[in-house]
Amino acid sequence: MPVSSPRGGISLLVGTMKGAFVLRGGVSRRSWKLEEPQFFGSVIDHVAQDPRDPACLMMGTRTGHMGPTVYRSGDFGATWQEASKPPAFKKAKGRKATGRALEAVFQMTPGHADNPGEWWASTVPFGIFRSRDGGDTWKGLKGFNESKKLKKWAGGEPPGGPFTHSLMIDPRDARHMYVALSVAGMFESTDGGRNWAPLNEGSKACFLPDPDVPYGQDPHCAIMHPADPDRLYQQSHCGIYRMDRAEGVWKRIGLRLPKSIGDIGFPVVPHPRDRDTVWVFPMDGTEVWPRTSPKGRPAAYVTRDGGRTWQRQDTGLPRRHAYFTVLRHAMAADREEKAGVYFGTTSGEVYGSRDEGKTWKCLASHLPRILSVEVMVQP
């Protein structure tokens, strides 16, 4: 299918510790312009565009004093409205009961194409919330938030809290969903989120005495490939994995990366049209886990054959003494003929490539710590 460039151009939605930023790259993606910050001073965990209604954006945000909430825009981010009923757990019953309070709306996920106005929010601590009215009111997903199994699956308290992330909806079936939980693993539902089951066979929990457990793994980021919903990839605390659903087992494909680099990282990003192509951004997972670019030399790695081989992509990136991290939501690709690939760093730079990672260019610098990068398309 031919790819037609959006006439309004490509922009990046950048969520940072101190506000939301938009980088405009136009149709050519050659020169980029940084706009003034929005929600300056607030933590912006994630901003996502609705592919069903491109003018609609959804933002998960929080401040240190006022707690987390959701804002929505119907005009490509020109104006924003706060949800009238933001995500919140149920109040615990009984005087001595202690209930959970939301700490972050960590990821926003548009619903299935058949369900216009539906959005999903993945939170810290573990929680899934759904809106059916374009993000104005939110309700907890009972089958997940109140599941007794969830307590059993939750293994610990990872840095930053127990993250719910990588919520995925099968484009062929709105009731088929996946979600990833930090230090709990991957889970699948086939009934719209009423019931969930672990999906971890083959993936290791290398930090446990017995790494082969049914749950308790630590996925950092997982994707359902847009070119093949039966092809899953996962960047975990213990390596890079691929699963073809017909096989139902995670296979560690990151071992083909150079041993001096390793296969630890946060993001994994799919090519828009080739199910065998994904990008990762390895970090140092040795000894005390610095979580920065190995040896201070940052590079993306790409596989074009489903993980059998990997190629280093560092042209245009700092050659040495660059000690940043690319967080799990801070890397993204567009859908252009030559896919653009973008990432934001914990030291506040945004890098982009308009040739699928062959060459990189710094698009913005001196921003606050970057938590998320998403592509916005203006038709």
Partner 1 sequence: MKIVLSSHYQQYTGGRAEVEADGKTLRAAMKDLDRQFPGLRFRIFDEQENVRRHVNMTAGGKRVKTLGDKVPAKETLYILGALSGG
Q: Which residues bind partner 1 (CB under 8 A)?
A: 63-67, 69, 82, 84, 86, 88-92, 98-102
Distance CA 285, CA 365 (A): 26
Supply the minimum distance, in Å, between the C-beta of residue 246 and partner 1.
Answer: 42
Among residues 145, 142, 175, which one has the least CA distance to residue 162? Answer: 145
Q: How many helices (H) and strands (E) would you count in the chain?
A: 2, 28
Supply the minimum distance, in Å, between the C-beta of residue 65 and partner 1.
Answer: 4
If the CB atoms of residues 30 and 91 are measured against partner 1, the closer one turns out to be: 91
If the CB atoms of residues 65 and 320 are measured against partner 1, the closer one turns out to be: 65
Name the one residue in this structure whose structure tokens are 């790409």: 302
Q: What is the DSSP string of 275-312?
A: TT-EEEEE---STT---S-GGG---EEEESSTTS--EE
If the CB atoms of residues 137 and 190 are measured against partner 1, the closer one turns out to be: 137
If the CB atoms of residues 99 and 214 are measured against partner 1, the closer one turns out to be: 99
Distance CA 145, CA 167 (A): 14
Supply the minimum distance, in Å, between the C-beta of residue 6 and partner 1.
Answer: 33
Among residues 215, 250, 243, 219, which one has the least CA distance to residue 229? Answer: 243
Q: What is the DSSP string of 74-137?
A: SSTTSS-EE-SB---PPPPPSTT-------EEEEEEE--TTSTT-EEEEEETTEEEEESSTTSB
If the CB atoms of residues 59 and 332 are measured against partner 1, the closer one turns out to be: 59
Supply the minimum distance, in Å, between the C-beta of residue 106 and partner 1.
Answer: 17
Supply the minimum distance, in Å, between the C-beta of residue 96 and partner 1.
Answer: 12
Supply the minimum distance, in Å, between the C-beta of residue 77 and partner 1.
Answer: 18
DSSP label at residue 369: P
If the CB atoms of residues 21 and 71 are measured against partner 1, the closer one turns out to be: 71
DSSP label at residue 184: B
Question: Dihedral (C-alpha) 51, 57, 63, 66: value to the nearest 10 degrees?
Answer: -110
If the CB atoms of residues 103 and 274 are measured against partner 1, the closer one turns out to be: 103
Supply the minimum distance, in Å, between the C-beta of residue 71 and partner 1.
Answer: 11
If the CB atoms of residues 91 and 172 are measured against partner 1, the closer one turns out to be: 91
Distance CA 72, CA 357 (A): 32
19: helix, strand or coil: strand
Inter-residue contact 17 to 371 (CB < 8 Å) = yes
Supply the minimum distance, in Å, between the C-beta of residue 299 and partner 1.
Answer: 30
Supply the minimum distance, in Å, between the C-beta of residue 192 and partner 1.
Answer: 24
Distance CA 192, CA 175 (A): 4
If the CB atoms of residues 134 and 352 are measured against partner 1, the closer one turns out to be: 134
Radius of gyration of the chain (CA): 19
